[in-house]
Structure formats: C-alpha cells, structure tokens
Chain A
Amino acid sequence: MVTVGCVIKTPGSSKRNKTGSWRTFKPVLDKEKCIDCNNCIIFCPDSSVNKQHEIDYDYCKGCGICAHECPSDAIEMVKE
C-alpha cells in the first residue's frame, strides 16, 4: 500500500534512516577548546550538531567538515 501519488505526509521522516552507520571516523568535541563560533553547526551537511554543539551520532556520516572548519581544533576525528 502506498499513499495516493506517493505523497509523504510526515515531514522530516528521513530521520528514520540512521545514516550514522555510514561513518568510519567520528568527530569528538573537546568542550574546553570550543570558542562557540558555531562553524560545526553551520557547516554540518546532516544537521547533526545542535545548538549546544552536541553531535548526533545517529546521523553524523563522519565527513569531518566540522573538525576541518573548527578554528580552535576542538574537534578530533577518531576511528570508529
């Protein structure tokens, strides 16, 4: 059974798909070093860093943009 015209009536339902399983390296934040520049939030392609700079490992694909764009080297990419 599909909906009429395959319309999807649950916005944001992609959250069922836990893309965290794609990851081989995981970003780990050292809160001590964080200067609240928010680069990790702004540049995350997977909307996986929240306002408190907590990383949602359910979806983080481990691209490493957050670590690469962190001006204070507060994020380290650690092998899973």
Chain B
Amino acid sequence: MTREVMTANKAVAEAARLAKPQVIPVYPITPQTTISEYLAQYVADKKIDANYVKVESEHSAISAAVGASSAGVRVFTATSSQGLMLMHEILFAAAGMRTPFVLADANRAISAPLNIWNDQQDSIAQRDAGWLQIYVENAQEALDTTLMAYKVSENSDVLLPSMVCLDGFILTHTVEPVEIPDQETVDKFLPPYVPEHAYLDPKDPMSIGNLADPDYYLEARHDMQIAMENSIEVIEKTCNEFAEIFGRKYGLIDAYKTEDAEIIFVAMGSICSTIRVIVNQLREQGEKVGLLKIRAYRPFPVEAITEVVKNCEKLAIVDKNISFGIGGALYADMKAKIDKETYGFIAGLGGRDITPEAILEMYEKTKNPVKEVTWIGLKEE
C-alpha cells in the first residue's frame, strides 16, 4: 500500500490498472481525458498488459468494449457527457447482452448550450439502461468503488455492467491523498474474470446478441430486473469483504447524523461533503438535521433508504440534474418509493457552484416550504 496525492481521475486509472483489464477501448473527452491518458501511458509502460484500442468515437469505445467483454476478457472504459450520450444505444446493448465491464463517467453537463462543467445529467439520462450506477464523493471512493464494481458486475447473480460516476472537475481535477492498495491484495479481492454465460471461443461456439421475439424478450428484460435486485445484496456483501481486506467501509448508502434527524438531506456525489459541513453547523445551532448519501442510484436501495428515513419528518433532495416537467430524477424516485414529505432542489447545473449558503437555503425551504421543487442559485433578473 502506498499513499499519494492525486486527482480522482488518477485514482480511477490506478484502480483500472489494479483490476488488470485486458482490453481498454477509450476515447478522450473533457473532463475524463486524463483517465484515457494515464491508461495509455500505463499500457505504453507495460504497467498494464492490455490492448488499448484507440477508437474513433465513444460509440466505438463502448461497442469494442461489448465485443471484447463477449470475447471473454475484463474490460475498462471511461467517458463523460456527450460521449456518454453517444454511447446511449450501446449502453442498453451492453446490459442486455450481460457484459459485466466497468465504465467511469466523469459527470458533466449536456449540450445545449455547450458546457464542460459538472452536473450529473449525463449519467442520470442513462439510468434506465440496465447499468449499476454508483456515485462517489472523493478520489479514494472513486478508486475503491471501481475495484468493487468489477466484483459486483462479474458476480453470476448480477452480470450487468457498472458505471462509476465521479463529479467532473470537482473530483476529476482536484487532488487529495489517496491510498493505493498493492497488487497482491487486490488480486486476492478480485480474481481474474472467467465468463461462463457468454464467450466467443471456436472450441465452444455460441451465438451472442441474438434476435428475441415477443415470446422471449419479456423474460430477457425481467431477468435483468432480477439481476438488478440481486445486486443489492451483492453490493453489500462486496462492501463488507472490501472493508475486511482494505479497512474502508462503504455501502449502498451512507447515513450521517440521521438517527434523530427531523430533516434529512438526500444527495449523491461530491456535494455530500459540503452538506456534511452544513449539517454540523446546523447541529451546533440545535437543528435536528442529517444527510443520506446515495451511493447506489441503480439499483435503488429502497429498503436501506426507508430504514434511515423512517423517523424523520421531511426530506430535502438535492438534484444536479433536471427531468423537465417533473423535477430532479432523485426527487422523483424518492417521491415514488418513500412515503415522506419531500422537497426537491435543482442545483449546480452546468457547474454553477453549490455554496454553503445554497445548502442553508434548501434547509430553510424544507423547513418552511413554499413549493415542492425549487431551483437554487438562479440569478435575479
């Protein structure tokens, strides 16, 4: 184990190196680019024994990833924003074909207007693709989650690809100390990928990616729902195993000072760090407030969330995305699954800073609500 100061992009690249993928099809895009650069250098320096496929687009990156995974190897790729949108069609194919590879998404806003800064609209727009989506708060969590994602995805009860979502720039381009586990320990945690459900081998021919008519399609999609449900337990189990080996404990969610909280913030990604500071500040003023960090957005861990929020009065949901006409996606999911007085806040789109004052404003507007969904930080005319 070593300790180094690095960006979350470097942490993700380090995790990818430790996971020993054999094919890495990747295409550069801000703010993911440095991941593609680190990996190219690792392959050039023989730090990873992989074929780095210099594809001509994200569409081909994900297509080559599906091909390579189907040919029986561990695969890593990464993208962001427009790149993820270009992958959209094949994200569904990857999940439907049950190719268990890992993609890191450096969360960035979607055009138009063109914007390279952070929000989570890109990955949220892919939530129905059949991928597991885990949102991380810092560089260490990005590294650890990437390693765990392989173990979860490759589990025979799951066999769905995973998307590790890290906030663009806020995490991808800021540095913090990160513990890098050593290879032998990682190898023990994450053995080589041995596919049983699908592989392309002339010694045992099979057809992959077939046509399924109305007699079979419904069952195929239902199997994916079951796999997603199975992943809840597999994620918990994997987190426990990871904690035993590496000493860092994660879960589907992370609850902070929620036991006696009357109002609970619910959020994903790096903004949780800011909210935690505000929670402490409000607690000092005697306010009963807590934070529920959602790590697993897909699968959506309804039971775990219900347990945490059961005694609170109100929920304040922070969304760095917007589903026009309804509100944030997390807000909509919470309203659908959790029976609580719930208020949604749209904030931080296109990299607009979510300040401590903005969090306090959300708290105030949950305590004394005027409307269900409020945009925070809009400039006055």
CA–CA, A14 to B205, complex, Å? Answer: 14
CA–CA, A8 to B223, complex, Å? Answer: 16
Please tell me which one of the listed residues B96, B197, B205 contacts residue A3 in the complex, with CB atoms under 8 A apart.
B197
Contact A11 B223 (CB under 8 A): no
Contact B206 A6 (CB under 8 A): no
Contact B197 A6 (CB under 8 A): no
Which chain A residues (17-50) contact chain B, with CB distance < 8 Å? Answer: none
Q: Which residues from chain A contact B97 at a C-beta distance below 8 Å? A: 5
Task: Determine chain B's interface SS by DSSP, over half rule.
Answer: loop
A7-B197, A7-B198 known; A2-B212 Cβ under 8 A:
yes
CA–CA, A6 to B95, complex, Å? Answer: 12
CA–CA, A1 to B208, complex, Å? Answer: 17
Contact B198 A8 (CB under 8 A): no
Please name the residue on chain B nearest to A1 by beta carbon: B219
Interface check A79, CB cutoff 8 A? no
A-B contacts at CB below 8 angstroms, number? 37
How distant is A9 from chain B, measured CB to nearest CB, in Å? 5
Q: Which residues from chain A contact B98 at a C-beta distance below 8 Å? A: 4-5
Q: Which residues from chain B contact A7 at a C-beta distance below 8 Å? A: 197-198, 206-208, 210
Task: Determine chain A's interface SS by DSSP, over half rule.
Answer: loop
Interface check B61, CB cutoff 8 A? no
Which chain B residues (193-223) contact chain A, with CB distance < 8 Å? Answer: 197-198, 205-208, 210, 212, 216, 219-220, 223
Q: Which residues from chain B contact A9 at a C-beta distance below 8 Å? A: 206
CA–CA, A39 to B290, complex, Å? Answer: 79
Interface check B78, CB cutoff 8 A? no
Chain B CB count within 10 A is highest, among A1, A9, A11, for: A9
Q: Which residues from chain B contact A1 at a C-beta distance below 8 Å? A: 219
How distant is B247 from chain A, measured CB to nearest CB, in Å? 34
Q: Which residues from chain A contact B219 at a C-beta distance below 8 Å? A: 1-2
How distant is B90 from chain A, measured CB to nearest CB, in Å? 14
Q: Which residues from chain A contact B216 at a C-beta distance below 8 Å? A: 2, 6
Please name the residue on chain B nearest to A9 by beta carbon: B206
CA–CA, A15 to B96, complex, Å? Answer: 26
Chain A CB count within 10 A is highest, among B98, B197, B207, B220, for: B207
Chain B CB count within 10 A is highest, among A3, A4, A5, A7, for: A5
How distant is A17 from chain B, measured CB to nearest CB, in Å? 13
Q: Which residues from chain A contact B208 at a C-beta distance below 8 Å? A: 5, 7
Please name the residue on chain A nearest to B205 by beta carbon: A11
Please name the residue on chain A nearest to B156 by beta carbon: A4
Please tell me which one of the listed residues B198, B206, B223 contacts residue A2 in the complex, with CB atoms under 8 A apart.
B223
Interface check B159, CB cutoff 8 A? yes
How distant is A19 from chain B, measured CB to nearest CB, in Å? 16
CA–CA, A8 to B212, complex, Å? Answer: 11
Q: Which residues from chain B contact A4 at a C-beta distance below 8 Å? A: 98, 159, 197-198, 223
CA–CA, A5 to B216, complex, Å? Answer: 11
Please tell me which one of the listed residues B159, B205, B220 contacts residue A6 in the complex, with CB atoms under 8 A apart.
B220
How distant is A33 from chain B, measured CB to nearest CB, in Å? 38
CA–CA, A7 to B99, complex, Å? Answer: 12
CA–CA, A7 to B200, complex, Å? Answer: 11
CA–CA, A8 to B210, complex, Å? Answer: 8
Contact B197 A5 (CB under 8 A): yes
Please name the residue on chain B nearest to A3 by beta carbon: B197
Please name the residue on chain B nearest to A10 by beta carbon: B206
How distant is B107 from chain A, measured CB to nearest CB, in Å? 28
Q: Which residues from chain B contact A2 at a C-beta distance below 8 Å? A: 212, 216, 219-220, 223
Contact B206 A11 (CB under 8 A): yes
CA–CA, A7 to B159, complex, Å? Answer: 13
Closest 7 CB pairs of A and B: A5-B98, A4-B197, A8-B207, A11-B205, A7-B198, A2-B219, A9-B206
Extra contacts besides A2-B216, A5-B208 (18): CB < 8 Å: A2-B223, A3-B197, A4-B98, A4-B159, A4-B197, A4-B198, A4-B223, A5-B97, A5-B98, A5-B197, A5-B198, A6-B212, A7-B197, A7-B206, A7-B208, A8-B206, A11-B205, A11-B206
